[in-house]
C-alpha cells in the first residue's frame, strides 16, 4: 500500500494532471446540465425559435465532446502511469533477483518468483488505470457540483449535505461487516475452488481405483458449496449498493419534492432552476457510487502491492568482487581459511572449512546427504558470499578478484544443468567466452559423446531444445554441460557427480571426459563414485557442515573411522 503511494508520488506531474483533468471534466458536466436546461427552458416556456437555440445546441455538442475527451485523457493518463510503474517494478524485482546469491545457489521457489514477476506486477495495473483516476474524479467533481447547486438553489444543497454523509457511514458499517464475513468465508472458498484442480491432478489415481464417477459428484457438490459461500459475501456487497441506491433515490426524491413544492405552492423558483437541480443532483450521487466500485477494483491491487513490498524488502548482500585478474596459463591455487556460510532462512550452515587446493589437484567432496557438500561447492564457485573466514585465490582475497576473470576460468557441471531455449549448438556455444565456429562446437560435442545422439536427430545441431523444444534426458543434459566445458577449457572445473540412473555408456563418457578435462585443470567433484574418490588427490570428508577429515583414500582409510565405514558398507554392496 505504501509502495503504491510512494510510486504515485514519483509521478507527481501526472497526479496533478489527473486533478486538472477532473476539474475540466467537472466543468463540462456542469456546462452540460446548464445547456440542456437552458435549451428546454427556452423552447418549452420562453417560445424561442429553433434558430435561436442552435448556438446552444452547438455549444452542447462541444461540451459533451470536452467531457468525453477529458475523461478519456484522464483514463489514458492512468494507463500510462500504470505502464511506468509496472516497468519499474519489474526492473527492481529483476535487480533484486540478479544480485541475490540465494537465486544462484537454491533452485526452489523459482516458480513462485515467475508468478510474482508476471501476474503480481500485472495486478498493480488497475490501481493506476482505474482506481486512482476514479478516486480523483469522485473527490473533485462532487464538490464542484455542490458549489454550483448551492449557488443556484441552496435548499437542494442542504438536502444533499444532510443525506450524502450517510453514504460513507453506510459503506463503513457494511464494509466492516463484509470484511469479517469475507475472511470467514475465504478459507472455505479457497478450499472449494481448489477441489477442481485437485481432482484433475489426481484423475489417473481416481481412475486406477475406479473412483472417477464418484468424484464427479464431489466436483458438483464443492462447486455448489463454493457458490453458496461466495453468495454469502456477495449478498452483503449487493445490499451495500442497494442501500446506496436507496439513499440516493431518497435524496433525489426529496430534491424533486422540494423543488416542485417551491415551484407550485410558493412559486419562488423557476422551471430553469428546478430542472437544473434535478439534473445535477443525480450526477453527484453517481460519482459517489462510482467511488464504491473503484474501491473494489483497487483492493486486488493493494493485495498485490503488499506481496511485492514483501518480496522487495528482503534485502540480500550481493557477492562482492574486485579488479584483480587470474593468470590464464595455469589453474590458481584456492585456499579456504575458516570459511563458513549459512542460509538465513533455514539456519543450515557449514563452518570453519580450512583447506588448500593446489593447481591441477583432483579433489573429491564426500559426506552424507545434508552434510553440506553442495553448499561448499557453491561457496567455492563464488556464487555465495562467505559469512565467516576467507577464500584466497593465488593468495589474493576472493573479493579482490574480478568477477569476469574468475568465471572465465571456471566451469560448473551441475546434476541438472539448465538448457536455454535455442538449438543444441547454441546451448553448447554458451560455454565459450569468444565466438565459436561450428567445427569447434562439433568437436566439443564429440568429446562429450553427444555426436551419435545428435546424428540421429533430423535437424542435428540445429534441433531446438529448452523450454518448448525437444525433451532432453538428465544424462544428455550433463553431456551438454560437459561439451560446454570442452569448448571453454577452463582451469577450474566444479562437478556435481550424478548418483544413479545413467546408462553404462554415459557413465563411461562422464568418467573419461572428466579425466581428460582434468589434465589441464583443477577438478573439484561432489563425488558419488568410489572410483572418483579413490583416484582423488585429496578427499574432503564433510559431516554436519564441518570438515571432518582431509586426505587421500589411503590416508583416510587408516585414520578415519567414518570413512572406513562408508567404504566398507559400500563394498558390501549395500548403501547406508
Partner 1 sequence: MKGLRTVILVLLKEKKDIVLSIICGFIAGITAVGLFSSSGYLISQAALAPPIYTLMVLVAVVKLLGIISALSRYGERYFSHRGTFTMLGNLRVSFYEKLEPLAPAIFQKYRSGDLLSRIVGDVETLQNYFLRVFYPPIVIVLVFLVTIFFTTFISIQTALILVLGLLLTTFVVPALFGYRQRKVDRKVRQRRGKLSTDVTEFLYGFRDLKIYQQVHDKEKDLLQSSNHYVEEQERESIHNLFSESVNTFISLLVSVTVLAVGAYLVTVGQLDGIFLALLVMISLTVFENTTAMAAYPSHLQDSRQAVARLDTVVNEEEPLQQNQTETMEQGIAPSIEFKNVHFSFPGETGDTLKNISLNLPAGSKTAIVGPSGSGKSTIMQLLLKIYPVGNGDIYFNNQSFLQATQESVWENANVVLQSNHFFYGTIRENLELAKDGLRDEEMKEILRNVELGHFDLDDQVLEKGENLSGGEKQRLAIARVLARKAPLWLLDEPTSSIDVLTESKLYERLFEVAKDDTVILISHRLTGLEKMDQIIVMEKGTIIESGTYEELMNQKGYFQQMKEIEKSVFLGE
- Among positions 447-466, residues that touch partner 1 (CB under 8 A) are 456, 458, 466
Nearest to 200 by CA among 226, 220, 217, 219: 219
CB 21 within 8 Å of CB 140: no
- Residue from 25, 71, 134, 178 binding partner 1 (CB under 8 A): 71
**Where does this chain touch partner 1 (CB under 8 A) — which range of 141-149, 354-362, 387-395, 567-575?**
567-575
Q: What angle do CA 290, 294, 298 make, to 5 degrees?
A: 170
Measured CA to CA in angstroms, residue 10 lies from 13, 20, 81, 84, 186 at distances of 9, 18, 10, 10, 35
Enumerate residues 496-535 that contact partner 1 by CB under 8 A.
499-504, 506-507, 527-533
> Which one, 152 or 337, has the nearer CB to partner 1?
152
Rounded CA-CA distance 467/419 in Å is: 8
Rounded CA-CA distance 364/33 in Å is: 85
**Where does this chain touch partner 1 (CB under 8 A) — which range of 154-162, 299-307, 341-349, 362-370?**
362-370
CB 339 within 8 Å of CB 353: yes
**Is residue 169 a contact point for partner 1 (CB under 8 A)?**
no
Q: How many residues bind partner 1 (CB under 8 A)?
A: 155
Rg of the chain taking only CA atoms, in angstroms: 36
**Is residue 318 a contact point for partner 1 (CB under 8 A)?**
no
Site string for partner 1, 208-237 (x = CB under 8 A): xxxxx--xx--xx--xx-xx--xx--xx--
190 C-beta neighbours (distance < 10 Å), count = 11
389 C-beta neighbours (distance < 10 Å), count = 15
Closest distance to partner 1 from the beta carbon of 9 (Å): 21
**Where does this chain touch partner 1 (CB under 8 A) — which range of 52-60, 305-313, 321-329, 438-446?**
52-60
What does the buried/exposed string (b/e) look like for 241-278 if buried means 16 or more CB atoms within 10 Å of the residue's CB? Answer: eebbeebbeebbebbeebbeebbeeeeebeebbbbbbb
**Is residue 485 a contact point for partner 1 (CB under 8 A)?**
no
- Residue from 154, 176, 186, 238 binding partner 1 (CB under 8 A): 238
**Is residue 50 a contact point for partner 1 (CB under 8 A)?**
yes
> Which one, 113 or 443, has the nearer CB to partner 1?
113
CB 124 within 8 Å of CB 305: yes
Rounded CA-CA distance 196/448 in Å is: 46
**Is residue 108 a contact point for partner 1 (CB under 8 A)?**
no
> Which one, 245 or 320, has the nearer CB to partner 1?
245
Rounded CA-CA distance 477/415 in Å is: 9
Rounded CA-CA distance 301/288 in Å is: 21
Enumerate residues 249-278 that contact partner 1 by CB under 8 A.
249-250, 252-253, 256-257, 259-260, 263-265, 267, 270-271, 274-275, 278
Rounded CA-CA distance 3/303 in Å is: 11
**Is residue 107 a contact point for partner 1 (CB under 8 A)?**
yes
Nearest to 85 by CA among 121, 136, 118, 119: 121
> Which one, 216 or 354, has the nearer CB to partner 1?
216
**Is residue 409 a contact point for partner 1 (CB under 8 A)?**
no
**Is residue 297 a contact point for partner 1 (CB under 8 A)?**
no
**Is residue 173 a contact point for partner 1 (CB under 8 A)?**
no
- Residue from 4, 30, 82, 376 binding partner 1 (CB under 8 A): 82
**Where does this chain touch partner 1 (CB under 8 A) — which range of 134-142, 152-160, 238-246, 332-340?**
238-246
The secondary structure of 340-393 as a DSSP string is EEE-TTT--EEEEEEEEE-TT-EEEEEESTTSSHHHHHHHHHTSS--SEEEEEE
**Where does this chain touch partner 1 (CB under 8 A) — which range of 6-14, 202-210, 337-345, 443-451?**
202-210
Where does residue 344 rank: exposed (0-12), middle (13-18), buried (19+ CB within 10 A)?
exposed
**Is residue 69 a contact point for partner 1 (CB under 8 A)?**
yes
Rounded to a whole number, what is the largest CA-CA distance in the chain? 119
**Is residue 186 a contact point for partner 1 (CB under 8 A)?**
no
- Residue from 25, 120, 129, 185 binding partner 1 (CB under 8 A): 129
Q: What is the dihedral of CA 355, 361, 362, 366, to 10 degrees?
A: 0
**Is residue 421 a contact point for partner 1 (CB under 8 A)?**
yes
Rounded CA-CA distance 476/538 in Å is: 29
- Residue from 17, 31, 75, 360 binding partner 1 (CB under 8 A): 75
> Which one, 44 or 154, has the nearer CB to partner 1?
44
**Is residue 197 a contact point for partner 1 (CB under 8 A)?**
yes
**Is residue 80 a contact point for partner 1 (CB under 8 A)?**
yes
Enumerate residues 379-398 that contact partner 1 by CB under 8 A.
381, 383
> Which one, 172 or 249, has the nearer CB to partner 1?
249
Amino acid at each position: 500500500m505504501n509502495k503504491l503511494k510512494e510510486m504515485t508520488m514519483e509521478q507527481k506531474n501526472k497526479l496533478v494532471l489527473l486533478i486538472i483533468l477532473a476539474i475540466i471534466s467537472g466543468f463540462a458536466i456542469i456546462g452540460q446540465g446548464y445547456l440542456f436546461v437552458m435549451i428546454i427552458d427556452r423552447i418549452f416556456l420562453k417560445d424561442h425559435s429553433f434558430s435561436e437555440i442552435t448556438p446552444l445546441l452547438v455549444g452542447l455538442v462541444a461540451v459533451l465532446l470536452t467531457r468525453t475527451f477529458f475523461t478519456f485523457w484522464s483514463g489514458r493518463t492512468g494507463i500510462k502511469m500504470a505502464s511506468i510503474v509496472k516497468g519499474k517494478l519489474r526492473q527492481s524485482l529483476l535487480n533484486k533477483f540478479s544480485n541475490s546469491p540465494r537465486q544462484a545457489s537454491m533452485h526452489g521457489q523459482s516458480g513462485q518468483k515467475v508468478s510474482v514477476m508476471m501476474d503480481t506486477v500485472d495486478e498493480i495495473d488497475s490501481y493506476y488505470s482505474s482506481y486512482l483516476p476514479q478516486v480523483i474524479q469522485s473527490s473533485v467533481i462532487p464538490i464542484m457540483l455542490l458549489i454550483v447547486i448551492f449557488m443556484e438553489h441552496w435548499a437542494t444543497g442542504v438536502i444533499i449535505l444532510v443525506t450524502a454523509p450517510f453514504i460513507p457511514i453506510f459503506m463503513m458499517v457494511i464494509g466492516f461487516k463484509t470484511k469479517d464475513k469475507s475472511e470467514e468465508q475465504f478459507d472455505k472458498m479457497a478450499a472449494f475452488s481448489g477441489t477442481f484442480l485437485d481432482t484433475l491432478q489426481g484423475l489417473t489415481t481416481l481412475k486406477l481405483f475406479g473412483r472417477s464417477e464418484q468424484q464427479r459428484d464431489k466436483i458438483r457438490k464443492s462447486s455448489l458449496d463454493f457458490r453458496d459461500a461466495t453468495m454469502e459475501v456477495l449478498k452483503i456487497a449487493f445490499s451495500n449498493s442497494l442501500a446506496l441506491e436507496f439513499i440516493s433515490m431518497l435524496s433525489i426524491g426529496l430534491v424533486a419534492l422540494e423543488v416542485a413544492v417551491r415551484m407550485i405552492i410558493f412559486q419562488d423558483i423557476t422551471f430553469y432552476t428546478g430542472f437544473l437541480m434535478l439534473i445535477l443532483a443525480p450526477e453527484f450521487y453517481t460519482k459517489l457510487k462510482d467511488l464504491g466500485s473503484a474501491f473494489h477494483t483497487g483492493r486486488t491491487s493493494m493485495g498485490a502491492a503488499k506481496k511485492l513490498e514483501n518480496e522487495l524488502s528482503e534485502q540480500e548482500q550481493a557477492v562482492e568482487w574486485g579488479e584483480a585478474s587470474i593468470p590464464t596459463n595455469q589453474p590458481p591455487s584456492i585456499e579456504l581459511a575458516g570459511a563458513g556460510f549459512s542460509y538465513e532462512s533455514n539456519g543450515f550452515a557449514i563452518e570453519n572449512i580450512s583447506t588448500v587446493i593446489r593447481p591441477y589437484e583432483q579433489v573429491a567432496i564426500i559426506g552424507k546427504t545434508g552434510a553440506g557438500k553442495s553448499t561448499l561447492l557453491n561457496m567455492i564457485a563464488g556464487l555465495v558470499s562467505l559469512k565467516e573466514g576467507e577464500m584466497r585465490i593465488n593468495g589474493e582475497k576472493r573479493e579482490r578478484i574480478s568477477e569476469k576473470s574468475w568465471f572465465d576460468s571456471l566451469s560448473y557441471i551441475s546434476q541438472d544443468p539448465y538448457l536455454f531455449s535455442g538449438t543444441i549448438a547454441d546451448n553448447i556455444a554458451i560455454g565459450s567466452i569468444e565466438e565459436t565456429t561450428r567445427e569447434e562446437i562439433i568437436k566439443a560435442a564429440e568429446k562429450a559423446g553427444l555426436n551419435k545422439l545428435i546424428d540421429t536427430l533430423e535437424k542435428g545441431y540445429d534441433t531446438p531444445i529448452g523450454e518448448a523444444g525437444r525433451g532432453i534426458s538428465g544424462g544428455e543434459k550433463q553431456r551438454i554441460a560437459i561439451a560446454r566445458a570442452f569448448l571453454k577449457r577452463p582451469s577450474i572445473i566444479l562437478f556435481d557427480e550424478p548418483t544413479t540412473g545413467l546408462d553404462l555408456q554415459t557413465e563411461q563418457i562422464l568418467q573419461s571426459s572428466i579425466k581428460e578435462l582434468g589434465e589441464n585443470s583443477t577438478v573439484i567433484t561432489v563425488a558419488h563414485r568410489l572410483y572418483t574418490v579413490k583416484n582423488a588427490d585429496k578427499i574432503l570428508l564433510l559431516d554436519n557442515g564441518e570438515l571432518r577429515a582431509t586426505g587421500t583414500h589411503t590416508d583416510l582409510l587408516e585414520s578415519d573411522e567414518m570413512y572406513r565405514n562408508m567404504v566398507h558398507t559400500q563394498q558390501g554392496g549395500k548403501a547406508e
